[in-house]
Structure 1
């Protein structure tokens, strides 16, 4: 039996514990080259050979992938061929959030920041309050951008479909021929301390006319005062229609026989321009 020398009192060098292996270098240049080849119509296999990557890597770049770690968390990586989503200019951009963080660090007030970014002060105040770090209360622009993206990707399922109690309450009142405005105001009074049991009138209208999102019975729309099963198009002026069958005529386009009053009945409503005594004389 061979005795193992003791290491007590001897400095041990060369041991590195819990050191994570460094991952591969990013393939940004190869990704750009692969994307150019795909734009030229080159197949996936040929592009992978040209760039010098595995064909499976090219497939993941082209179609994206979804992975699940040991803890059950799912991570989705989009395709590199997808164009970034264009966000409306009324939302703050990542560059504007970086500017907000820099100006806050420099000691500028919210109104000064709003003037420099040409935004409303309420927009800047709401952005800082919503998207700052909840632990440190500091505003970090990139973290704020991620929080805003998560908020924009919220569930599009309607509030009435999510809340069964609220949906049943609204459905019962609609069956009793209550208007959405009456239901909304009653909910605010009865459930003043519970925001989840409050709903706007427009939400009820959308739930009626789009039952796949709202969860209400479409037949309940006929119990409204308008009795319509579908909404009128009012967003664009060329889509709006009047409630009259025939289009209305302007006063400036009235015919000549109305002006000369040659026929009985054309004197109606003319008291503003001609003395009403003339009309009384005609009836005598």
Structure 2
């Protein structure tokens, strides 16, 4: 072992020039960062620093910046396989010079013919020639094009969207309302995804908290998850949904309802929800105390007897034991009660959807007993005043009124 003399500077590690060049070549070919680092024999963090650059403190004060591989990220393979790669562009150029049709090229690449057509139309040089290397540079340059969001550029549009969000409209409802409000102004329309992105953007351009505006109450976007398996419930003697009349099944006549409970913390409080199948009109029923059959049945009887006789045709309920006195409800209102099959929430799809909407007002884990009948009525009116996609963006309130006034 060779001793270093006192005061003599110990040489640092040799520069990885060759490895860095090989890493750049692999990344340009579309190899992943982890695989490129493995092939050249460096740590994955080292490759990340090479690719994106870094800033470190300097000995003399300040900072020293190591630039990113701009030449790699600007001319390398696209970040997503949905974009054409440089290798595919070389195939397009070779096949076009050989006289192949765009459809033949698309079949060979496994792409849509419109992708090949757009590529040949967009990425030609000034002389009208298609060259793969130049096309790759032009396409990659267009990838990073930061633009101002529509809701930020148009303040009145942003204020309109904010107002509807405060009314707890969903982005899809807002998108449809804008299309109706501005039929001849495409610049003032917004896709639902655009509104979602503006809500979750770091710049907070809409100045609204997604957790308070959206019924999912999520602060971060995430994919849908599979629902957990539901526990089996006690069986009660009840008419099956298979016995429900056909007019209720195909939504031909008004007056057929779906119902269930939404429960609060530890299942100690509840609100009964009723949804008319044709119009989607929702009725909220205050359930004082325990949500057992002795309490729920009188509350439902009072809610249904307040409705016109033409709106009392049938009720489809979940398979819970809280409706064990369904025969008393039928005797008081003349409405037969049918029960969905266990573990089959889709058989009461309208009611399940309404319960999801109501969680925006009554979050899971909260005490639902704190809400008075007047508060439930206010939420009910607000929910029935929202436009619905299945009614061509008419509201359940106006839809139900039109059905009642229509000749029978």
TM-score by length of 1: 0.51
Task: State whether structure 2 residue 223 is matched by structure 1 residue 234.
Answer: yes
| Runs of 4+ off more than 6 Å | 33-36, 38-41
Q: What is the CA-CA distance between 1:94 and the residue it aligns to?
A: 0.5
Task: State whether structure 2 residue 106 is matched by structure 1 residue 114.
Answer: yes
- Name which structure has the greater RCO, CA cutoff 8 Å, separation 6+: 2
Q: What is the CA-CA distance between 1:162 and the residue it aligns to?
A: 4.8
In structure 2, relative to structure 1, the CA distance for the partners of 1:162 and 1:31 (3 Å cut) is farther
Q: Which blocks of at least 5 consecutive residues in structure 2 are unaligned?
A: 1-15, 23-39, 44-63, 244-326, 328-408
Indicate conservation of the 8 Å contact 2:78/2:85, yes or no. no
Partners of 1:153 and 1:116 lie apart in 2 by: 29
Q: What is the CA-CA distance between 1:165 and the residue it aligns to?
A: 4.2
Partners of 2:20 and 2:193 lie apart in 1 by: 48
Q: What is the CA-CA distance between 1:110 and the residue it aligns to?
A: 1.0
Alignment length (residue pairs)? 189
Q: Which blocks of at least 5 consecutive residues in structure 1 are unaligned?
A: 1-29, 42-61, 66-75, 259-264, 273-279
- Report which of the two structures shows the higher radius of gyration computed on alpha carbons: 1
Q: What is the CA-CA distance between 1:200 and the residue it aligns to?
A: 0.7
Indicate conservation of the 8 Å contact 1:221/1:227, yes or no. yes
State the match for 2:133 in structure 1: 142
Indicate conservation of the 8 Å contact 2:89/2:132, yes or no. yes
What CA deviation, in whole Å up to 9, does each residue of 1:165-210 have, x standing for no partner?
43223223333444322322233355556554322112212323x1
Partners of 1:172 and 1:112 lie apart in 2 by: 51
Indicate conservation of the 8 Å contact 1:158/1:214, yes or no. no
State the match for 2:80 in structure 1: 88
State the match for 1:174 in structure 2: 165
In structure 2, relative to structure 1, the CA distance for the partners of 1:86 and 1:104 (3 Å cut) is closer
Q: What is the CA-CA distance between 1:268 and the residue it aligns to?
A: 3.9
Q: What is the CA-CA distance between 1:31 and the residue it aligns to?
A: 4.4
Indicate conservation of the 8 Å contact 1:173/1:183, yes or no. yes
Indicate conservation of the 8 Å contact 2:77/2:85, yes or no. no
Partners of 2:103 and 2:20 lie apart in 1 by: 47
Partners of 2:218 and 2:168 lie apart in 1 by: 15
Report 1:35-74 matches (<5 A). Answer: 64-65=66-67
What CA deviation, in whole Å up to 9, does each residue of 1:229-277 have, x standing for no partner?
5367435xxx4446xxxx4147xxx88xx6xxxxxx23542876xxxxx
Q: What is the CA-CA distance between 1:121 and the residue it aligns to?
A: 1.3
Q: SS in structure 1 opposite 2:146?
A: coil
State the match for 2:93 in structure 1: 101
Question: What do you get for the CA RMSD once the two structures are aligned?
Answer: 4.2
State the match for 1:11 in structure 2: none
Q: What is the CA-CA distance between 1:39 and the residue it aligns to?
A: 7.0
State the match for 1:32 in structure 2: 18
Q: SS in structure 2 opposite 1:212?
A: coil
Task: State whether structure 2 residue 205 is matched by structure 1 residue 215.
Answer: yes
Indicate conservation of the 8 Å contact 1:160/1:214, yes or no. no
